[in-house]
Amino acid sequence: MRWINWAAVIWLLAAPAAWAQATTEAGIIVTGEGRVAVAPDMAAITLGVRHRGDTAQEAMALVTDDVAGILNTLTNVGIANTDQQTSGFYLRPVYNSRGINDGTPPDLVGYEAGNTVTVRVRDLAVLGSTLDAVIEIRANEFNGLRFDLQDPSAAQSLARRLAVGDARAKAEELAQAAGVALGPLVRLSEAGSNAGPRMMEMSAGRASMDSAIASGEVGVEARVTLVFEIRQP
């Protein structure tokens, strides 16, 4: 006769129900969103320098000279050294197109070098003149302009409060529609707040940037999830 461990059987049968109860959150679960539009107080400019030369040394020298000129110009117009950054340097060979159709190897015709300069402008009143200065003198590529906030904490705080208010209003509406009373808040989580920069793209060939720039607004967003108990009225 085979003995059955009834305690083990009972535990196995009860475990799925206990697990489901532990992982199923009872209550009213709502998500709220808050968004604040704020005028930006800074801008980030991404400029590029690209040159070709017969040799790698020539191409690199041309780029290095122009980047040094850009950084010097930025310093002269009042941009702090900590707000200037170079990145993305590259050097690559350049070949002609011979051989694409007849299968012969292409010829090396030179080298191309490039570098990127990112600068933060904390005084938007001088943004246009700063762009004009660096593009007119050295930069031959304009890779983008991004408006942002130097300190988004106040706007993020307001967006969070709006998100919580939005979630609570939804919970109250759901409770009323279901004929129950809204209980206390038992859990709150934030999905993340975002201060979204505003991007602009313009050609480096503009004669003057002052009339082409409109800063607009920066959107700061927050998203929260609230869980309330349900009480019978």
- pTM of this structure: 0.68
Q: What is the mean pLDDT of the chain?
A: 83
CB-CB contact of 71 with 119 (8 Å): no
Comparison of pLDDT for 138 and 164, the residue scoring more: 164
Q: What is the pLDDT of residue 110?
A: 96
Percentage with pLDDT > 70 across the chain: 78
Model pLDDT, residue 7: 44
Contact of 158 with 34, CB cutoff 8 Å:
yes
Query: What is the band of 132 on the pLDDT scale with cuts at 50, 70, 90?
Result: confident
Cβ neighbours of 192 (radius 10 Å): 8
- Joined together, the tokens standing for residue 64 give 């290095």
The predicted model gives 22-40 an average pLDDT of 84
Across 66-80, average pLDDT: 92
In terms of Cβ atoms closer than 10 Å to its own Cβ (0-12, 13-18, 19+), residue 32 is: buried
Backbone CA torsion sign across 71, 65, 97, 88: negative
Predicted pLDDT at 104: 75
The Cα 147–Cα 44 span in angstroms is: 6
For the chain, give every residue range classified as CATH 3.30.110.170.
25-39+152-198+216-231
> What average pLDDT score do residues 88-108 get?
82
Instruction: Tell me what pLDDT residue 210 has.
Output: 53
pLDDT score for 139? 84
Round to whole Å and give the CA distance between 184 and 229. 6
Instruction: Indicate the CATH number for domain 42-148.
Output: 3.30.70.2970
Q: pLDDT at position 23, please?
A: 41
Using CA atoms, how far apart are residues 47 and 114, in angstroms rounded to an integer? 11
Q: Determine the pLDDT at residue 96.
A: 85
CA 147, 153, 158, 163 torsion-angle sign: positive
pLDDT at 21: 43
Whose CA is closest to 58, among 115, 116, 110? 110
Place of tokens 């979204």: 196
Q: Which helix (H) or strand (E) holds 83?
A: none
Q: Which residues of 80-106 are buried (b: 16+ CB within 10 A; e: fewer)?
A: eeeeeebeeeeeeeeeeeeeeeeeeee
Residue 124: closest CA among 145, 144, 152: 145
Ranges for all domains in the chain classified under CATH 3.30.70.2970 = 42-148
pLDDT 10s digits, 178-187: 999 999 999 9
For domain 25-39+152-198+216-231, give the CATH superfamily: Protein of unknown function (DUF541), domain 1 (3.30.110.170)
Grade residue 203 by pLDDT with cuts at 50, 70 and 90.
Answer: very low
**94-108, 121-135, 197-211 — most confident range:** 121-135
Mean pLDDT to the nearest integer, 163-168: 97
- pLDDT at position 205: 45
Return the DSSP state at 150. Answer: S
Q: What Cα–Cα distance (Å) separates residue 209 from each residue in 78, 115, 137?
A: 18, 22, 14
